[in-house]
Amino acid sequence: MHIDILTVLPELLASPLEHSIMKRAQDKGLLTVAVHHLRNWAVNEYGQVDDYQYGGGAGMVMLCEPLAKAIEALSANKKFDEIIYVTPDGRTLNQRMANTLSLKGNLLIICGHYKGIDERIREKYVTLEISIGDYVLSGGELAAAVLVDSIGRLLPGVLNDETSALTDSFQDNLLAPPVYTRPVDFEGMKVPDILMSGNHTKIEEWRYEQALQRTRDRRPDLLEE
Ligand code: ADE
């Protein structure tokens, strides 16, 4: 999978994608991410990419022209499966969307800043608008990093133990069951006996029950879906 990201703050995106599982995905060649500075397509020598909004009001709006030029340039030699704009008024990201997107080949993610991007770019180019939650970030970069991480770890071969993505929270609309490691007794709190029984059928049943109970207690909305 290849992901292009358009941003005015490429520095913000470097670190989250250079470590751990995202690093492994890229080292293995399963994921390539190219971060592009929108200023490369600025409208003048000052690097301008935003301007005051029509109708007045505080906050700048990202100009059509640099975005259009950038999108056209990046589309020249590839067809994007989705052109995604990360924005608080998009559809809220969930595991199902991450699963669907992990099956695509080429994605472009546009990070907004200030008051956002000119509406006409959304109309003309954007095919999917995604929010990572009901709160407002200073810009789209952290949302883009969250999105890329949620997709990248699902690519086949990225995780060492293929089953570990399958037992993540949300994978079956269930939260993950509790997990334990050494010691068996931590300040009088014991690891449940069943986990040391060696009976894998019983352990799986227990984990399923725990996942179900945890979901009922904390996120009953997931069970209604
Ligand atoms: N940009 C600013 N806030 C955001 C959010 N919650 N989700 C996606 N992009 C954003």
- State the greatest distance between any 2 C-alpha atoms of the chain, in Å, as a whole number: 69
pLDDT band at 180 (very low <50, low <70, confident <90, very high): very high
Task: State the pTM of this model.
Answer: 0.94
Which whole number is the average pLDDT over 121-141? Answer: 97
Of 126, 152, 178, at which residue does a domain stop? 152
Question: 150 CB under 6 A from ligand 1?
Answer: no
What pLDDT was estimated at residue 167? 76
Number of domains in the chain: 2
Distance CA 213, CA 220 (A): 9
Residue nearest to atom 4 of ligand 1 (CA): 88
Q: How would you label 75-112 residue by residue, b for 16+ Cβ within 10 Å and e otherwise?
A: eeeeebbebbbbbbebeebebebbeebbeeebbbbbbb
Q: Is residue 161 part of a domain?
A: no
CATH number at residue 83: 3.40.1280.10
What pLDDT was estimated at residue 39? 97
Question: 88 CB under 6 A from ligand 1?
Answer: yes
pLDDT digits (tens, 9 = 90+) for 45-89: 999 999 999 999 999 999 999 999 999 999 999 999 999 999 999
Predicted ipTM beyond 0.90: yes
Cβ neighbours for 199, distance < 8 A, ≥ 6 positions apart: none
Distance CA 37, CA 67 (A): 11
**Residues 204 and 197: beta-carbon distance below 8 Å:** no
Same domain, 53 and 88: yes
Same domain, 43 and 120: yes
Same domain, 13 and 66: yes
Same domain, 103 and 180: no
Domain that includes residue 115, residue range = 2-152
pLDDT digits (tens, 9 = 90+) for 23-53: 999 999 999 999 999 999 999 999 999 999 9
Which whole number is the average pLDDT over 87-107? Answer: 97
Same domain, 71 and 131: yes
Angle between helices 20-27 and 141-152 (to 10 degrees): 60
What pLDDT was estimated at residue 162? 60
Q: Alpha-carbon dihedral of residues 207, 210, 215, 217, nearest 10 degrees?
A: -170
Cα 68 to Cα 19, 41, 79, 186: the distances in Å are: 31, 9, 15, 58
Question: 152 CB under 6 A from ligand 1?
Answer: no
Residue 104, pLDDT > 80, answer: yes
Residue nearest to atom 9 of ligand 1 (CA): 87
**Residues 112 and 85: beta-carbon distance below 8 Å:** yes
CB count in 10 Å sphere of residue 181: 7
Which whole number is the average pLDDT over 193-218? Answer: 98
Same domain, 145 and 183: no
3 state DSSP class of 68: helix
Which whole number is the average pLDDT over 93-120? Answer: 96
> Given CA atoms 207, 208, 213, 216 in this order, what sign does their dihedral have?
positive
Distance CA 70, CA 38 (A): 7
Which of these, 143, 118, 140, 135, lies nearest to 51 by C-alpha position?
Answer: 118
CATH number at residue 173: 1.10.1270.20
